[in-house]
Amino acid sequence: MKNLCISATASNQGKTILTTALLYHFKKSVRPFKIGPDFIDPQFHKRVCGTSSVNLDSFIYNESQVKWIYNHYNN
């Protein structure tokens, strides 16, 4: 599997737990991405897989910047 997106319809649905578990399992071959201003999840990502998350927030970046960032870090 090359890409996976975890989402839910509301808060407190288990996205962080599921994501953290998957990152731990695949830690040698993943690059975590994050959308949004949350600062806690990226800390979990780095602690679990040793790699910092890349933010793809469309509020901060325009569409072409998000695509460039994703393609640049999605090796």
Residue 31 near residue 51, CB atoms below 8 Å: yes
Gap between the Cα atoms of 50 and 43, Å rounded: 10
CA dihedral 36, 42, 43, 46 (to 10 degrees): -170
Mean pLDDT on 3-8: 92
Residues in the chain: 75
Could you tell me the residue ranges of all domains in the chain? Answer: 15-73
pLDDT value of residue 17: 94
SS3 30: coil
Mind listing the pLDDT tens digit for each residue in 20-54?
999 999 998 889 999 988 889 899 999 999 988 99
Residue 69 has pLDDT above 90, yes or no: yes
Burial of 42 (0-12, 13-18, 19+ CB in 10 A): middle
